[in-house]
Chain A
Amino acid sequence: MPRLHDKILAQRRTMSDEVRLAYEVSVAEMRAHGIGSSALRLGDRFPDIVLPNAEGDLIATGDLLRRGPVVVTFFRGIWCPYCRLMLDALVAALPEIEAAGASLIGITPETGGLALTTKRNHHAAFEVLSDVDCGLGLGCGVVFRTPDIYRRLLLKYGNDLAARHGNQAWFLPLPAVFVLDRDGIVRWRFLSVDFTEQAEPEDILAAIRALPSGAA
């Protein structure tokens, strides 16, 4: 099976000149501003949170941790083709993640039932939580304000994040994955300012398997 990275490269090759320009300018700007430099590091404690899941119930991360290690993946929304590739790859990897004793949660800034749409579209059998107003993303240091050039591009192609998020902030999370041990401590992370890059499921699995026994 092709690696997620190869699929991402193929997707990136389909960018029009207009999209490529907005993408390159945005990523350069975000790098220059040091975005992502304050994200949770190895050894940090993941914030205690309570968020609505796709089915409309409140979920506390503390309760999920009682079952074992947790993999938390932040994604931008189902309008994002790179996120969709990542979600498909995680759906395929879910049996192995669970066999390794971990559970998986996806975090989306989208509201209005889009977390449920995400689950349905991807046949995802893991929790997808709606990070309303990006509070969890802020606590994890992965939120940024969408650069103007990218915002205009999204609007032009009908991706009105204000409507999708239920606020006018245009904040988004970086692609970020945190592997938490039973105590909620970050033991592995993936983070990229380039929002087309995604964590490879194999690397996530390796990180879960590398957790000290007893933690997993």
Chain B
Amino acid sequence: MELHQVRYFVTLCRTLNFTRAAAECNVTQPALTRAIQRLEEEMGGPLLFRERSLTQLTPLGRAMLPHLEAMLTAAETARRVADEQLGRQQMSLRVGLGPAIAVARVADVVGRLIRFCPELSVQFEEAGAPALVDSMLSDMLDCALLPDDPDLPDRLHRWKLCEERCVVVLPAGHQLAARDSLSAEDLAGETLLVGERCGGFVLRLIEASAHAFTMRRCGGSWVQMLDLVAAGLGLALLPDALAIGAGLISRPLTEPQLHRSVLLTLVAGRPQGAAVAQFVKLCRARAFA
């Protein structure tokens, strides 16, 4: 397939009108029609219903549109980076960080992006998943790292970046610190800290096990939760990727084993700045440990 065929098709999907699409693409209508026909041959069927006054996407057309659009964006963003660099335009990237997801997850990617676009301004926002989704939908954020959740809206594009497993964080002097790994049974009778922005592992542990735990609610983020662990107020269940401070240790929870996937998410179909597009490409291209 050809770049111009894809561009004509994407424009036609937006306008649903051959005359207007041809004008927008600066070509004659027969040229646009021919290009669409060739694309249809390659895709293996009609992409559009053509009726006298109405142009509609076929199911195949609807299925192919997001893929062709993504490919077109990928083909065109590369140029925009060069242009924006040349023009020294202010480039920005706003990333949301979901519950118990640290900046460290993407710090290396951001560093490499900044090496390429030194003028880039980067902003991070830590919050619960629903708040970050709202911020993305209202264009206050470009993308967000979120734990996988079936309740995420369909409008979000998502790519799995990595899998994290649950660890128990406890003071180094705690009696359980001598163990290599811990089970639900070991934690029975201990006080567990529960926070809405800390990964949700405690609630999953309660669902998965028959033991009774003492719980202490704790607002704030995982950073504050670690402070409370250090102060001896309870133990925390957190993803293994977080850096914990001096005086604390972590032990894997092996019975039950709890995991979660971390996703890169963004609103589908929204035009992205060049820096955002490159950030997403860098994240998708690499493996996250």
Contacts and interface: CB of A to CB of B under 8 A. Distances in A.
Given A48-B79, A138-B74, A56 B2 contact: no
Interface of B: 1-3, 6, 38, 41-44, 64, 67-68, 70-79, 81-82, 108-109, 112-113, 115-116, 159, 278, 280-282, 284-287
Contacts of B41: 33-34
B286 A113 contact: yes
Interface in A39-65: 47-52, 56-58, 60, 62
A116 B6 CA distance: 30
Interface residues of A, number: 40
Interface string A192-206: 000000000000000
Contact of A116 (B44, B68, B112, B287): B287
Contacts of A51: 78, 281, 285
A111 B284 contact: yes
Contact of B73 (A34, A116, A135, A166): A135
Interface stretch (A78-86, A98-106, A140-148): A140-148
A138 B81 contact: no
Max chain A C-beta neighbours (<10 A), residue from B3, B67, B285, B286 = B285
B71 A171 contact: yes
Contacts of A58: 112-113, 115-116, 278, 282
28 contacts: A34-B41, A35-B42, A47-B75, A51-B78, A52-B286, A56-B108, A56-B286, A57-B116, A58-B116, A62-B82, A111-B285, A113-B286, A113-B287, A116-B287, A132-B74, A133-B71, A135-B71, A135-B73, A135-B78, A138-B2, A138-B71, A138-B74, A141-B2, A143-B1, A144-B1, A145-B1, A148-B44, A168-B67
A112 B284 contact: yes
Contacts of A56: 108-109, 112, 282, 285-286
B71 A34 contact: no
A135 B274 CA distance: 14
Contact of A139 (B3, B42, B44, B73): B3
Given A56-B108, A58-B113, A139-B75, A132 B286 contact: no
A38 interface: yes
A58 B283 CA distance: 11
A147 B285 CA distance: 25
A73 interface: no
A136 interface: yes
Given A132-B74, A138-B72, A169 B42 contact: no
B79 to A, nearest CB: 6
Contact of A50 (B6, B70, B72, B278): B278
B24 to A, nearest CB: 19
Nearest to B161: A112
Given A50-B78, A50-B82, A52-B281, 7 more contacts: A48-B78, A50-B77, A50-B116, A56-B286, A116-B287, A144-B42, A169-B71
